[in-house]
Amino acid sequence: MALKIVKGSIDRMFDKNLQDLVRGIRNHKEDEAKYISTCIDEIKQELKQDNIAVKSNAVCKLTYLQMLGYDVSWAAFNIVEVMSSSKFTYKRIGYLAASQCFHESTDVIMLTTNQIRKDLSSPNQYDTGVALTGLSCFVTPDLARDLANDIMTLMSHTKPYIRKKAVLIMYKVFLKYPESLRPAFPRMKEKLEDPDPGVQSAAVNVICELARRNPKNYLSLAPLFFKLMTSSTNNWVLIKIIKLFGALTPLEPRLGKKLIEPLTNLIHSTSAMSLLYECVNTVIAVVWLSVLKYLGLLAMSKILKTHPKSVQSHKDLILQCLDDKDESIRLRALDLLYGMVSKKNLMEIVKKLMLHVDKAEGTTYRDELLTKIIDICSQSNYQYITNFEWYISILVELTRLEGTRHGHLIASQMLDVAIRVKAIRAFAVAQMATLLDNAHLLTGNTQHSGICEVLYAAAWICGEFSEHLEDPMATLEAMLRPKVATLPGHIQAVYVQNAAKLFSTVLCGQEGAPADSKVAQETSQLLIDRLPVFVQSDNLEVQERASCILQLVKYIQKLQQKDVEVAEEVTALFAGELNPVAPKAQKKVPVPEGLDLDAWINEPPSGSESEDEGRKTKGKAVFAREESRHTKPRYTEVDEKELAKRREVRKAEQANNPFYIKASPSSQKVRTASSPNRQLVLWMPMSDQYVKLEEERRQKNKADRKKDKKKRREKGRQRRGDSGPESEEDITPAHMVDIVTEEMPENALPINSSLTSRCITDVCDIQGNLHDGSQVVVSVIFENKCDSFIKSMEFNVMDSLNSKLQRPEGAGPHDSLTVPFHLPPGISSEARFIFSVQSIVMPQKLKGTLTFIVKDSSTHEKLDFKLHFTCTSYLITTPCYSDAYAKLLESGDLKGSSLKLEGINQPFHHLLARICFHHHFSVVERIDSCASMYSRSIQGHHVCLLVKTADQTVSIDAKCDEPGLLRNVLDEIKLTFSQC
C-alpha cells in the first residue's frame, strides 16, 4: 500500500499540472487543437489511476479545457469521485468542476445526493461552504426536494459563514421546489434581523427576489423593511430594499407617501451614485409627478456640476418645467438653466425666459426670473454674450416690468455694459434716450417703485456719451421736464448734472452754424427756465448742483448775448473720458527709487505718543491675546475651497460694479465672437515701460513668496495651497470671519460598536469649535481600553454631498486620515477633524470607520461609528440686547413656529438654563414666567425664542429666518426635555 502511494507521488512528478497545461497551450499556438487532444489523452490515463491527487489534478485541467470550449461531459463520474474525497483540497476542485460542468441533464447528479448531504453536515464549515457553493450552480428539482430540509437547518447554523450561504441557496431551492417555500419562510423572515450583516443582506436579497415575482405576498413585511431602510448603513442592502419598495408600492399607494421622506434624505445625503440612481428610479415608479419633477431637477443639478454636457441636451425639457404650476419646480429649473447656458444657446434661453417674464404672475417669481436673466447673461464677465446690442435691448425690455424691486440691478448692468463695451455706446445711448423720453411710462403712479432706478443709468449714459446722441436737444428737453422733480433725489441729481453735459454738446452743435446764435440762446433760456424747480428741491445734492449750474448757464447766456463763442469753453468743463479703473491700479505703479512710503514725513512727537501706545496695549490686552489664539486655526482651516467660494462671491460683486473690472489675465481682453473690434476695456492705458517693470516686480514677488511658503511648510504648518499671486493678494485678513470657539461637551456621542468592550472606545466629546459659515471641527477622544498597544489608527468618514471631511491636498475623496498618535494601553488622546458643511438646515448623520492595529495580534481591526451633526451644534451662543431683539422681531423677515412641552415640573430657571446649555441660547430678557432667548447660527441665521410656562406646560414660540433650521432646532429641544 505504502509503495503504491510512493509510486503515485513519483508519477505525479512527471504529470502536467494546470500551470504546465496552460503554458503548453500558450506555446503551441499553431497546433493548439492537436496539443490539447494529446493532453486529453493524458488526462484520460490519469483518471484511470487510483491516486486521488492525480485524479484531482486531471479534473482541474479538465475544468480549464471546458472553459476553452471542449466537451468534458464524459468525465462527470470522475468529477463526482473527486468531490467525494475527504480532503478539502480535492473536494474543492471537485465541486468547482461540478459547478462548471454539470447541468440539469447530467445524470450522475443523482449519485451525488448523499455525498452532498454528508458534506453539508460536515463539522468543517469550509466543507459545507464548498458544497453549498457548488450546489447553487447545479441544483436540480430532485436535489432541491431531497436537500431542502438539510439546507433549512443550516440557515440556523452557528457560523454566519454557513448561514448566509444557506439563505442565498434557499432561493434556488424555492425555484426548483416551490413547496419548500411555505415551511422555510418564517425562518427566512427571521434572518432579516440576523445579528450578522452578511446574513441580513443575504436574506434581504432573497426576499427582494421573491417579492419581485409575487409582491402581493410580501406586503406584510413592509414595516420591517421600512425599519431596515431607515437604519441600515449598507448601500448594497439599501439598494435592494428600495427596489423592493418599488415593487410593493403599486399595490399599496400609501407606502409611496411614507417613502418620500427617507428617499429624499438619501438623495440628499448619499455619495454613492448607484444608490442615488436607485432612489431616483424608485421615486419615478412610486411617487407622484410633481415630487418626481422636483427630484429629477435636483438630481440634474448634481449631475450638472460634474457633467454639464449631458444635462445641456435636456434643455427643452427643463425649459418646459418653467411652465409648471408649482413655483418650487420653476425655481429649480431656473437654477439649472444658469449652469447650462453657452454662447450658442444663451439668446434662445433668454428669449424663452422673457416670454415667461411676460406671463409670470406674482412679483416674487417674476423678480426671481429677472435676476436670473441678468445673472445668466452677466456670468463670468459676460462670457456667453456675443451680441451686446441684443443684451441692451433685453435690459430695456426688462424695464417694462411693473413694480419690480430690481431696478438698480438693471441700472448697474446698463452702466457696466455701456462703459466697458465702447463699440456699443452709440446704440446704448440711442436706447437710453428713448427710455428718458418715455420716462413717464416707467414712473407711472408708483414713484417709489424700484424701476425708476434705470433712469439714473439712462441719464448718466446719455450725458456722458452725449456725442453719440442723434438729437441731443430732444433729450435735453426730456431731462428737464417738470415731472422729473418727482423722482427720488439721487436720480434728480444725476439728471441735473447730465443736463449740463448735454447742454455743452448742444451748444457745440449749434454754434457750428453761426447764423443760429439765437437758437443757442434759446437753449440757454430753456435751462434757465427749467432749473429753478431743482434749485427748490428738498434734496441738498440736487439743490447744490442745480443752483451752481443755473448760475453758470446765466453767465453763458450773458456771453452769448455779446456774441461770444462759448461752446468750446463749456465743453472743456466736461472734457476727458471716464475710464474704468481697477481697484488695484495703484499697485501697478512702481514706487520711484528713493521713495520710502513707510518713512515718517515728520517725526512723531515722542513723549506723549509712547505713553498713549502703552495705554492702548494695556487696554487691548485681552483682545490682542485672543487674536493670536485665533490666528493659527484660521490659517490652517481656511482651505482652498473656502477661498474659492469667497473669490466667487467677490467676483459676483465686481461684476455688478461698473467701475471695477476683473484683473485676471484671461479676461483682460475678452473679445466677443461677433465683432472682434468690440472689446471690453479693462485697464487704464499704461505705458509699456510700466507694464514691464510691473512684470519684473511680480516675478520677484512670486519667487519670494515661494521661498516663504517653503519655510512655512517646514514648520509643519498647513497653509493654503499654491494659488497665483492674484489670490494671495486678494485674500486679506479682513475677509476672514472671526472664529468663535465654542465647546459643547453635552454632545458626547458614544460611538456604537461591538468592538468597544474589547479594544478601544472613542467618544466624540466636543463637537463644536465652529467658525465661519461652513466649517465644523469635530474633536474625538480615543481611549484605549484594552491591554495592548494600539497603532496605525486611520479615521475615515463617508462624505455626503452636504458634509465633507477635509482631507489634505492631494488626497482622494475616500482616503482616510491618519490619526497622528499611537495609544498605549489605558491612555486616551484627542484628535481633531475638520468638516466642511454646506447647508446647516438639516441635522446629519455621517457614517465612518476607524481602522487600527492592535500590536499583539497585528491584525487590522475596524470600528464603525456615526457622527451626528445636530442643528443645535450649528448654533453659537450670542448675546443680544433687548432693543436689537425687538428690532429683529419687528423686521418681519423671520418666520415663526411653535412647540408645546407637557409635564415639565422643573423650575423655570432650570428650564432656561437647560436650553441655554444644551442648545446654545442666551437669555435676552426674563419677566416672571416668560423669557425671550436668542441664538445665532454659524451662517448668521437669527433664532429667537419666547418661552412661557404655566402649570407644567411650557410653550415655546420661535422665530427664525430659516424655517427648516428652526423646525429641527425645536425638535431637538423637544428631545432634550423628553429625555429628562
Partner 1 sequence: MMHFLLLFSRQGKLRLQKWFTPIPEREKKKIVRDMTTMVLGRKPRSCNFLHWKDLKIVYKKYASLYFCCGLDAEENELLALEVLHRYVELLDKYFGNVCELDIIFNFEKAYFILDEFLLGGEVQETSKQVVSRSIEASDMLQEVSERPRSR
Which residues from 928-947 bind partner 1, rule CB under 8 A? none
By the 8 A CB rule, do 533 and 485 touch? yes
Stretch that binds partner 1, among 93-101, 887-895, 945-953, 969-977 (CB under 8 A): 93-101
Site string for partner 1, 280-319 (x = CB under 8 A): -x--------------------------------------
Residues between 11 and 50 with contacts to partner 1, criterion CB under 8 A: 18-19, 22
Which cell numbers in the block locate residue 611?
Answer: 505713553
CA distance 796 to 774: 20
Length of the chain in terms of residues written: 980
Interface with partner 1, residue 278, by CB under 8 A: yes
Q: Are 343 and 327 spatial neighbours (Cβ–Cβ below 8 Å)?
A: no
Q: Which of 48, 862, 868, 895 binds partner 1 (CB under 8 A)?
A: 862
Q: Is 210 in the site for partner 1 (CB under 8 A)?
A: no
Nearer to partner 1, 164 or 936 (CB): 164
Q: How far apart are CA 416 and CA 656, in angstroms?
A: 7
Q: Interacting stretch for partner 1, rule CB under 8 A, among 61-69, 561-569, 662-670, 894-902?
A: 61-69
Sheet with 790-797, side-by-side order of all strands: 817-818, 790-797, 844-854, 860-869
Query: Which residue in 805, 681, 596 sits closest to 420, CA to CA?
Result: 681
Integer Cα distance of 60 and 52 in angstroms: 12
* 772 lies in the site for partner 1, by CB under 8 A: no
Distance (Å, rounded) from C-alpha 42 to C-alpha 20?
Answer: 13
Give the footprint of partner 1 on residues 117-136 (CB under 8 A): 124, 126, 129-130, 132-133, 136
Q: Which of 40, 43, 53, 880 binds partner 1 (CB under 8 A)?
A: 53
Shortest distance, position 169 Cβ to partner 1, whole Å: 6
Do residues 293 and 309 lie in contact, with contact meaning Cβ atoms separated by under 8 Å? Answer: no
Answer yes or no whether residue 849 interacts with partner 1 by CB under 8 A: no
Helix (H/G/I), strand (E/B), else coil: 979: coil
State in angstroms the smallest separation of the CB of 19 from partner 1. Answer: 5
CA distances from 262 to 255, 259, 311, 838, 865 (A): 12, 6, 26, 20, 20
67 or 673: CB nearest partner 1: 67
Tell which one of 625, 860, 909, 910 touches partner 1 (CB under 8 A): 860
Q: Binder to partner 1 among 4, 103, 440, 814 (CB under 8 A)?
A: 103
Q: Is 265 in the site for partner 1 (CB under 8 A)?
A: no
Q: Does 171 bind partner 1 (CB under 8 A)?
A: yes
- 60 makes contact with partner 1 (CB under 8 A): yes
Cβ at position 916, least distance to partner 1 in Å: 44
Does position 74 interact with partner 1 (CB under 8 A)? The reply is no
Q: For residues 730 and 861, which CB has a smaller minimum distance to partner 1 in the complex? A: 861
Q: Backbone dihedral region of 674: left (phi > 0), alpha (psi from -120 to 50 degrees) or beta?
A: alpha
Among 201, 539, 672, 806, binds partner 1 (CB under 8 A): 201
What amino acid occupies position 966? L
Report how far apart the first and last C-alpha atoms of the chain are (Å, whole number): 80
212 binds partner 1 (CB under 8 A): yes
Tell whether residue 512 is a contact of partner 1 (CB under 8 A): no
Site string for partner 1, 545-574 (x = CB under 8 A): ------------------------------
Query: Is residue 63 a contact residue for partner 1 (CB under 8 A)?
Result: yes
Question: Crossing angle, helix 472-479 and helix 517-535, to 10 degrees?
Answer: 20
* H or E segment and range at residue 607: helix 606-637
SS3 822: coil
Going by C-alpha positions, the residue among 441, 361, 423, 435 that lies closest to residue 395 is: 435
Residue from the set 65, 119, 165, 901 that interacts with partner 1 by CB under 8 A: 165
Q: How many residues bind to partner 1 according to rule CB under 8 A?
A: 59
Question: What is the full DSSP assignment across 154-213?
Answer: HTT-SSHHHHHHHHHHHHHHHHH-GGGHHHHHHHHHHHTT-SSHHHHHHHHHHHHHHHHH
Give the one residue of 40, 80, 148, 172 binding partner 1; rule: CB under 8 A.
172
- Region from 236-244, 584-592, 814-822, 886-894 binding partner 1, contact rule CB under 8 A: 236-244
The closest of 782, 746, 799, 761 to 920, measured between CA atoms, is 746
Q: How far is the CB of 296 from partner 1 (least distance, A)?
A: 17
Kindly state whether residue 104 participates in binding partner 1, applying the rule CB under 8 A: yes
Cell digits of residue 765 = 466629546
CA proximity to 933, closest of 903, 889, 972: 889
Query: Do 956 and 973 form a contact (C-beta atoms < 8 A)?
Result: yes
* Number of CB atoms found within 10 A of residue 284's CB: 13
What minimum distance in Å lies between the beta carbon of 714 and partner 1?
A: 35
Q: Which residues would be at the binding site for partner 1 (CB under 8 A)?
A: 9, 18-19, 22, 53, 60, 63-64, 67-69, 71, 73, 87-89, 92-93, 96, 100, 103-105, 124, 126, 129-130, 132-133, 136-138, 161, 164-165, 168-169, 171-172, 197-198, 201-202, 205-206, 209, 212, 234, 236-237, 239, 243, 273-274, 277-278, 281, 860, 862
